[in-house]
A and B are shown apart, each in its own frame.
Chain A
């Protein structure tokens, strides 16, 4: 709700009183309210961003400076050597590649499988549709820990522990993705699809050439959510992987940090480089994702 609305409520109440003085007072009230809002929001934003600001500034500090007590805020002799040294001291490129492989593949596959399934659930009537859909929604409530131990045993039996396949296979579809796509696609009018059918288009062509272009915001949102989820995935890789060669960034950086706590300058540079891809993706997709959240979140 908005202070605009509130103050205009106040304004009109005062106008009704036909009184000049308090109308002025309400104008001041409005300004004070606005200023307060800015102060609170800005203070909050500073608290949110402070860890990042300190991280960025500190990733340009030398090892000597980072070990100073009390800590400095701005780097005295900014250096880029940390970013180079990370690649020399640990197989950072390898970890980065692992993260890219285990995030990009599941994201692409998930966006495809979820948009297909969403279309199936939104635009067709078939036996068992509603039961199946509710089963999928209900399993969203099952906590990940309840499946993780048996999942590990299953993967171990299938020989997929310590492989890329084992990391990738758990992320090829998602309930929330299916749900979001369904909600989006239900807004497409049936007449549009019927018109294409009358022209002789196959169901797959309709999906490909009519539906997909119409749900681009949903695709962008889902790409962001799925990629962010996989890029930050921690629990399953922690269980599935025990060889250093397969470590992804969310595993490698805490591990590195635990082993070489004193090299905080390198840890900072590594962390910053690890966050960069999701940040860039977010900047590109953020205009879609509020729409995506409106559709998934509210009707949860």
Chain B
């Protein structure tokens, strides 16, 4: 709009100069967006369409031909018990990680927002796991969980509980993975909540104070509703990323023991790069995509209703 309003030829410019001026003005927006958009779409939309097409083929990178098989990959997938195990494990992981992580992040953000001294220092400590490369964090935790040499069993014994082989025991492996995931993700969500809390005008609380509202009332009727857009944002993005968990699982347990932590993406990986069944892996990717899409839409529908104030 502004570019339209100011098509003013440069003072004392000749005809050629004016033409150049007009050209750079008209082409500028396209030149600005071109590299960013092309680089991005090249590695997202293009492979996505290719992947969808692949999922209807018996695609093996070693064979010369890739025959069309229709829905065979999808049928094979739904008949595969290990796929359902992976699905169940992913769901367990998501339910184990997302709610607890959000509640803890909110709690810490609320407490840090009370004017505690050393807020920046605490924020740094909570954020440390977020900036640590996940696979390296997983290496550190593998050692922390080590039954004999790790510190985790020492803490567990100190509290008075029984030590375990945390990553080696199918009964505990998923729990151990979930714990690391919560640890690594609290910081980011806390900072997002903190930013949102700082955006709530103090006058709201002062008004509530005049009306004689107490602690809980102010939280229940001011803070919580005003945090709703943030909560929805964190919930949706957390669920999406929890369904895509891979790196953590791959380093901590490799999907084991006995497939106790085999999640969908690690299974996609195994099928594609272990068995070279690219078509089947592509089909699995799209089933996962569909599930994520449906869950996201449900969240928007039920929680996103009154999200547009301001």
A residues with a Cβ closer than 8 A to B are 1-10, 12-13, 16, 34, 37-38, 40-41, 44-45, 47-52, 54-55, 66-71, 73, 109, 112-114, 116-121, 123-126, 129, 132, 135-136, 139, 141-154, 156, 169-170, 172-175, 177-178, 190, 193-194, 197-198, 200, 202-204, 207, 228, 231-232, 234-235, 238-239, 249-251, 253-254, 257, 264, 267-268, 271, 274-275, 278-279, 282-283, 286, 289-290, 293-294, 297-298, 300
Q: Is the interface of A mostly helix, strand, loop or mixed?
A: helix
Given contacts A147-B47, A232-B135, contact A190 B39 (CB under 8 A): no
- Are A2 and B128 in contact, with the CB atoms below 8 A? no
In the complex, the answer to whether A254 meets B138 with C-beta atoms within 8 Å is: yes
A-B contact count (CB 8 A): 341
- The smallest C-beta distance from B125 to any residue of chain A, in angstroms, reads 4
Q: Give the 3 A-B residue pairs with the shortest CB-CB distance, closest first.
A: A117-B36, A232-B133, A120-B32
Please tell me if the beta carbons of B139 and A267 are within 8 angstroms of each other in the complex.
yes
B87 located at the interface, meaning its Cβ lies under 8 Å from any Cβ of chain A in the complex: no
> Which chain B residues border A150 with CB–CB below 8 Å?
47-48, 50-51, 54, 282
Within 8 Å by CB of B43, from A7, A55, A147, lies: A147
Which residue of A119, A232, A264, A286 has the most chain B CB atoms within 10 A of its CB atom? A232
Q: Are B128 and A141 in contact (CB under 8 A)?
A: no
The 27 sampled A-B contact pairs (Cβ below 8 Å) are A6-B215, A6-B219, A41-B122, A45-B125, A51-B141, A52-B128, A54-B144, A69-B149, A116-B36, A119-B32, A123-B2, A135-B41, A146-B51, A150-B50, A150-B282, A170-B43, A173-B37, A175-B40, A190-B1, A197-B8, A232-B131, A234-B135, A253-B135, A254-B138, A286-B123, A293-B195, A298-B229
Q: Do A71 and B1 touch across chains, with their CB atoms under 8 A apart?
A: no
Q: Is the CB of A55 within 8 A of B205?
A: no
Is B61 on the interface with A (CB-CB < 8 A)? yes
Q: Which residues of A contact B281 (CB under 8 A)?
A: 149
Q: Nearest Cβ in chain A — how far from B280, in angstroms?
A: 10
Asked if A143 meets B128 with Cβ closer than 8 Å, knowing A150-B54, A250-B136, the reply is: no
Cβ-based interface call for B213 (8 A): yes
A44 to B214, CA, bound (A): 27
With A and B bound together, what is the CA distance between A198 and B161 in angstroms? Answer: 74
Binding site for A on B (CB under 8 A): 1-6, 8, 10-11, 13, 21, 24-25, 28-33, 35-41, 43-48, 50-51, 54, 59, 61, 104, 107-108, 110-116, 120, 122-144, 148-151, 154, 183, 186-187, 191-192, 194-200, 202, 205, 208-209, 212-215, 218-219, 222-223, 229-230, 233, 236-237, 240, 243-244, 246-247, 250-251, 264-265, 268, 272-273, 278, 281-282, 285-286, 288-289, 292-293, 296
B35 touches which of A68, A113, A139, A204 (Cβ 8 Å): A113
Q: Do A149 and B140 have beta carbons less than 8 Å apart?
A: no
The answer to whether A126 touches B24, judged by C-beta atoms less than 8 angstroms apart, is no
Q: Do B192 and A117 touch (CB < 8 A)?
A: no
* B206 → chain A closest CB, angstroms: 8
A69, A202, A250, A253: the one contacting B148 at CB < 8 Å is A69
Contacts known (A149-B278, A279-B131); A143 close to B288, Cβ less than 8 A: yes
Min distance, Cβ B270 to any Cβ of chain A, angstroms: 12
Taking a contact as CB atoms under 8 Å apart, the answer to whether B233 and A253 are in contact is no
Residues in A neighbouring B289, C-beta threshold 8 A: 142-143, 146
> Of B33, B41, B186, B264, which is within 8 A of A48 by CB?
B186
